[in-house]
Structure 1
Amino acid sequence: MRKITLLLLCMFYQLGYAQLSEDFESGTTIPAGWASFIGTNGLGTTQNWQINNGTTNNVAFVTWEAVVGGNAEDWLVSPQFTVDATNFILSFDQSDSFSDDFGSTYTIRVSTGASQTTHADFTIIDTQTETDVWSGGPLAQHTVDLTAYIGQPIYVAFVLEQNDGDRWIIDNIDMIADASAPEPAETPTPADMAMNVVIDPADDNMDGTPDNSVTFAWVASATGDPATAYDVYLGDSPTTLALLGTLGNTTVDITGMEYSTLYYWQIVAKNVGGDAMNSPIWSFTTEIDPALSVDEVNSTNFKYYPNPTKGLIQFESNLTIDNLKVINLFGQEVIRVNENILSTKQIDISSLKTGTYIT
């Protein structure tokens, strides 16, 4: 009897401390040791996690479905394993099916409890939207930092929440060993030293004020260990960069951007091995305020001379002039044209610095 008991204890030890690795190639059903079930509200019984027997490789996926009374939750939970000090980054490949956003939420959850199927034991440690998951082609790698669970036996759950939303496709689940700091991020958007970067004035937060946002994006390095997060810095010079926050994805909309402004920014990729070294600092200049732009002047209706000049500009028009501005190339009004100027049809620009101006 004691020999049997010792054998059972050894088997438990091995299961508890095995590292997580799954490529779904072992068959056409959910792998042994994994669990698939729905959320506590009982919605979404038609579509569940399954294995696609592809022509080149298998993947695990779950499809959307329309439900009434809430969101469907589809859970795929790993066998129990222990996170060790050299394998603590969870890595997997993923995608969804459509570039449009149908409101799905994708979460990674961890349980240190004894049960693989007790919903309440799981804590959300990573959340993505459809925009984050969409890869637009082959599956893209996603990583999650499990440093907080080193030395602990855990279950990892992949949970799709949606109501007539999108699909979640995953493959090549693994733990990355002996992680080192990632290589710097690449391919910035806006491009380095870009000019006339468009500002989006849409009021997405509905506070009654234009958001004046610019979309920032970058690409993770294809070499080295993957980043699990990115520090985002922004400033008006390379030496005054301020940390705006830390993200898990590679794009962000930053609001409150100003027109005709030179910005500097930096993305520092990071993981449990440290921060990327020598991350480049990029720059760009935003567009002139469209409200200050001028339509092309019809020279038959409006003339001004001499050009160039160091003093007075004379102008004439066969149309009534209601409004006239002198602006610089940054879209800033440098001379306020009053009624007296409109009546005399002369503008004194002798006070301006040498440069190019638009009337």
Structure 2
Amino acid sequence: MPVPMLDVNRQNQPLMDEITAAITEVCTTGAFVKGPAVKQLEQNVAEYCGAEHAVGCASGTDALLVALMALEIGPGDEVILPSFTFFATAGSVWRVGATPVFADIVPGTYNLSPEDVERRITPHTKAIMPVHLFGQAADMTALNRIAKKHDLYVIEDAAQAIGATEAGKRVGSLGTIGCFSFYPTKNLGGMGDGGMITTDDAELAHKMRILCDHGQDPRYYHHMVGVNSRLDTIQAAALGVKLRSLDSYAEAREKHAFRYNERFKKLSLSDVIGVPGVAQGRRSVWNQYTVRVENGQRDALQQYLAERKIGSAIYYPVPLHLQACFAELGYQEGDLPHTEQAAREVLSLPVFPELTKAEQSEVIDAIAAFAAQARTGAKRDAA
């Protein structure tokens, strides 16, 4: 049985009539930019995240960029962030002329290590940018304590984690600014690109709204240089429909993740794969279910699954500190050992909400078969 890594059509199809009606209303009114659906979505997302303000923008990448611009981070400044993340996290820092400073991760959660962050702080450090990777909140309690001690901003890259919590509070309300992506593969995915920025600071929210619209306030009067990064009304309308189902999507993902964990434990596969964990006091929304594949067998397992038409993905094969575009920063292999080990071992398995029990069993059975084959080969080599 083929099993896709993700199938966005299964999620969108049951809502298609509602989504079509919402988009049709936008088309009828002609309010394609800054329409009522944008304002409504901003209010709903702010309320959902527990933040005072939300500002729509064109993508999750732009959310990070505008957050940095609003905090006036630029040349001469340093921002500490993980190397084990999507490129946009560091790319946005680079684009404003600041220097990304890469820190290692906590092996169990793949999130930014507070201890490694603190030892990398210098007089040039202006912000910490934790990523709530794979749907689990970073250790914001510790990171906020460090930020307060050193008078630093905290910019949450929550692109993969809308709805995730630490100590009962949702991401996007845990730092100075929260940044979200509505790319179609995210837990709240649109019909294309889209993003949102959250904050409790009214002045920052006003500034970011202006920055997203070329820096003009009022129209044609520019007191700062901004960017063209507005959330399309059509996207906001579709997202407004899907937001109502966001918690049920997260619950389905969580159910799949727990079943994987239980089945892998019963099958005694710990010598082949390591299952992901959730830190105490946090709840993951499982944007990805990511295992570690032991003994250098990650690529072999992925190939084995692909031959059986079972989807999987590697996030991320090359850490950012070893990317060619950041070579001038001087990082070398071995600088971030936990990050580099994760890049060699991680493999993400299907966990999308609409995954069926039969499909999940297909994935589990295939991994069990691979493990049996690997053990037989290991015994043969030992003999």
TM interval, short-chain normalised: under 0.3
What TM-score results when the alignment is normalised by the length of structure 2? 0.23
Which structure's relative contact order is higher, taking Cα pairs within 8 Å and 6+ residues apart?
A: 2
Which has the larger share of helix? 2
Structure number with greater Rg is: 1
Which has the larger share of strand? 1
What TM-score results when the alignment is normalised by the length of structure 1? 0.24
